[in-house]
C-alpha cells in the first residue's frame, strides 16, 4: 500500500460496532492520513450520522432500508451521500479503497467482504464468519485481484506476526490462546442457568453481543480454529487451544525444532487493527504498553471439552469439510440470537449447533451446493438456518 505517510483511501464496513469504533478511534489517535470513502452500519443510524459528520465520507450506508429517511435527514447539508440496503453496502465495499475494514458481524459480512476482495484492496478482516463460510474462495479472490487479507482477530494477528514466511513448512503447531470467557470456572449446572447479561460480560475484552456470547460458549474459539486453518493453510490436527485468562499472549506458533514464538500485548483491539493497517510497517500511536511486572504472572490451562463442547464441534465441522463450517456458523448465529432473546438456555446453544450439523450430515446436505462459492455458502447458510430454527424450537418447547 505504499508508505504510511501517503493518504490512504479507506472503507469501514460495520463502522458503528465495537471494531468499527476502535478503527476510527485508532485513526484519530494515530492521526493516520486517511480519506474515508464509506462508512456502513446495520441499523444504528444515530451513531452512523455522528461518525459521518465527524469523518465526512463520500457515502454513509445503512443496511436497514427503513432508516434511510432518518439518515438523509441527519446528513442534510453535510455533503455526505446517504444510501441504504444490502446492495448499497456491497457497492460501498467496492469503491476502490486501498484498505477495507471488514467488521460486520456474522455471515451478513460475506458478500461485502467478497466485494471488497474483488477490487484488490487490502482487507483487514475482523469478520471471521466470512472466512468460516467461504475461506478458500475469499482468499483466492483477494489474491487473484492483487490484494491481500490481513487478520484483525487478535489470535490470528499474533500468528500472522510471528509466522516466518521462509519456514512455513516447518510449522508444527498453531496454538490459539483463549481467555476462557466469563464462565471459565462455572459448573455445567451454573452455565445451564446463565443469563444473556452474564454471558456478554467478558472479563478482558469489550465486544459486540454476538462475539461475547461466542466467547462465553467458546464457539468463538471454534470459529477461530477454522479461521486459522484457512488463513494459514493448516489442518485441524495441528491447531491447538490453550486457556490463558489474562489475554496477554495472543497466540503462538511452534516450529519443528521445538521453538515456540508468541506475540504479546495489552487486550486492546486497536493494536491488531494498527498492525493490519500498517503491515509490514508499524504505525506509531500512543498505544497502551504492556507492563509485565504489573501482571506478575501469566497462567495457562487446558480447555474443558465437557463444559465447552464447541471446540469439538468445530473440529468435527473441519473434518467434515464442504459446507459444514458454514452450516455450523449459521446454526450458531440462530442459536445465539435465540439465547439473547431468552428463548433457549445457554447450554442449548452448543447443543443446537451440534444437532443441526448432525441432521444436515445425515440428510447429506453438507456437500458444496454450487460451483459459485458465494452462492454455495449462502445456500448452505439458508438450509442450516431452516434446520436450526426447528432444532431451536424443540429446545424452546422443552424449557
Residue ranges that bind Mg ion, judged by CB under 5 A: 153-155
* 19 contact choice in Mg ion, ligand NAD, none (CB below 5 to 8 Å, kind-dependent): ligand NAD
Residue 25 beta carbon to ligand NAD: minimum distance, rounded to whole angstroms:
12
* 252 contact choice in ligand NAD, Mg ion, none (CB below 5 to 8 Å, kind-dependent): none
263, 250 contact by CB (below 8 A):
yes
**Residue 59 vs 152, nearer CB to Mg ion:** 152
Answer yes or no whether residue 153 interacts with ligand NAD by CB under 6 A. yes
Cell numbers found for residue 352: 443446537
> Of the candidates 76, 101, 84, 103, which has an alpha carbon nearest to the alpha carbon of residue 8?
101
> Of the candidates 19, 102, 23, 109, which has an alpha carbon nearest to the alpha carbon of residue 63?
109
125, 131 contact by CB (below 8 A):
yes
Query: Which of 23, 127, 229, 234 is the binder for ligand NAD (CB under 6 A)?
Result: 127
Spatial neighbors of 312 by CB under 8 A, at least 6 apart, are 305
Answer yes or no whether residue 179 interacts with ligand NAD by CB under 6 A. no
| Number of helical (H) and strand (E) elements in the chain, helices listed first | 17, 11
Distance CA 2, CA 290 (A): 29
Tell me the site size for ligand NAD, rule CB under 6 A: 27
**Residue 86 vs 393, nearer CB to ligand NAD:** 86
Answer yes or no whether residue 177 interacts with ligand NAD by CB under 6 A. no
Distance CA 234, CA 96 (A): 32
**Residue 127 vs 395, nearer CB to ligand NAD:** 127
Return the range that interacts with ligand NAD (CB under 6 A); candidates 125-133, 334-342, 346-354, 375-383: 125-133
* 268 contact choice in ligand NAD, Mg ion, none (CB below 5 to 8 Å, kind-dependent): none
Secondary structure (3-state) at 39: strand
Answer yes or no whether residue 100 interacts with ligand NAD by CB under 6 A. no
Distance CA 348, CA 220 (A): 16
Residue 329 beta carbon to ligand NAD: minimum distance, rounded to whole angstroms:
10
Residue 193 beta carbon to ligand NAD: minimum distance, rounded to whole angstroms:
25
Distance CA 142, CA 137 (A): 9
Query: Which of 11, 17, 110, 133 is the binder for ligand NAD (CB under 6 A)?
Result: 17
Spatial neighbors of 108 by CB under 8 A, at least 6 apart, are 42, 63, 86
> Of the candidates 7, 4, 8, 24, which has an alpha carbon nearest to the alpha carbon of residue 16?
24
* Residues of this chain, 181-240, that bind ligand NAD according to CB under 6 A: 205, 207-208, 210-211
Measured from the Cβ of residue 86, the count of other Cβ atoms closer than 10 Å reads 14
Measured in degrees and rounded to the nearest 5, phi and psi for residue 262 equal -125, 160
Residue 156 beta carbon to Mg ion: minimum distance, rounded to whole angstroms:
7
* Residues of this chain, 34-93, that bind ligand NAD according to CB under 6 A: 41-42, 44, 63, 89
Residue 82 beta carbon to ligand NAD: minimum distance, rounded to whole angstroms:
15
List residues binding ligand NAD (CB under 6 A): 14-20, 41-42, 44, 63, 89, 103-105, 108, 126-129, 153, 205, 207-208, 210-211, 269
Amino acid at each position: 500500500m505504499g508508505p504510511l505517510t501517503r493518504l490512504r483511501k479507506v472503507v469501514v464496513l460495520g463502522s458503528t460496532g465495537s471494531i468499527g469504533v476502535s478503527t476510527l478511534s485508532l485513526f484519530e489517535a494515530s492521526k493516520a492520513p486517511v480519506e474515508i470513502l464509506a462508512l456502513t452500519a446495520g441499523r444504528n443510524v444515530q451513531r452512523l450520522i455522528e461518525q459521518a459528520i465527524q469523518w465526512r465520507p463520500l457515502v454513509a450506508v445503512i443496511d436497514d432500508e427503513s432508516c434511510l429517511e432518518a439518515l438523509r435527514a441527519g446528513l442534510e447539508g453535510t455533503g455526505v451521500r446517504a444510501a441504504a440496503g444490502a446492495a448499497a453496502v456491497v457497492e460501498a465495499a467496492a469503491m476502490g479503497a486501498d484498505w477495507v475494514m471488514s467488521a460486520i458481524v456474522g455471515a451478513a459480512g460475506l458478500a461485502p467482504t467478497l466485494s471488497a476482495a474483488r477490487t484488490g484492496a487490502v482487507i483487514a478482516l475482523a469478520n471471521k464468519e466470512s472466512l468460516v463460510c467461504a475461506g478458500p474462495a475469499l482468499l483466492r479472490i483477494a489474491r487473484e485481484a492483487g490484494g491481500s487479507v490481513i487478520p484483525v482477530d487478535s489470535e490470528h494477528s499474533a500468528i500472522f506476526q510471528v509466522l516466518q514466511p521462509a519456514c512455513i513448512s516447518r510449522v508444527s503447531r498453531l496454538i490459539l490462546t483463549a481467555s476462557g470467557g466469563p464462565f471459565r470456572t462455572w459448573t455445567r449446572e451454573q452455565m445451564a442457568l446463565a443469563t444473556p447479561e452474564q454471558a456478554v460480560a467478558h472479563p478482558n475484552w469489550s465486544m459486540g453481543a454476538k462475539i461475547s456470547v461466542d466467547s462465553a460458549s467458546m464457539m468463538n474459539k471454534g470459529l477461530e480454529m477454522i479461521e486459522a486453518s484457512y488463513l494459514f493453510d493448516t489442518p485441524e490436527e495441528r491447531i491447538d487451544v490453550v486457556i490463558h485468562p489474562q489475554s496477554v499472549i495472543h497466540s503462538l506458533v511452534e516450529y519443528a525444532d521445538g521453538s515456540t514464538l508468541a506475540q504479546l500485548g495489552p487486550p486492546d483491539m486497536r493494536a491488531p487493527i494498527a498492525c493490519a493497517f500498517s503491515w509490514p510497517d508499524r504505525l506509531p500511536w500512543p498505544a497502551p504498553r504492556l507492563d509485565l511486572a504489573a501482571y506478575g504472572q501469566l497462567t495457562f490451562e487446558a480447555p474443558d471439552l465437557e463444559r465447552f463442547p464447541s471446540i469439538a464441534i468445530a473440529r468435527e465441522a473441519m473434518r467434515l469439510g464442504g459446507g459444514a463450517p458454514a452450516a455450523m456458523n449459521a446454526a450458531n448465529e440462530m442459536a445465539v440470537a435465540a439465547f439473547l432473546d431468552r428463548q433457549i438456555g445457554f447450554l442449548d446453544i452448543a447443543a443446537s449447533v451440534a444437532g443441526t450439523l448432525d441432521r444436515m450430515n445425515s440428510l447429506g446436505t453438507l456437500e458444496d451446493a454450487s460451483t459459485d462459492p458465494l452462492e454455495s455458502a449462502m445456500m448452505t447458510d439458508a438450509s442450516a438456518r431452516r434446520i436450526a430454527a426447528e432444532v431451536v424450537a424443540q429446545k424452546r418447547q422443552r424449557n
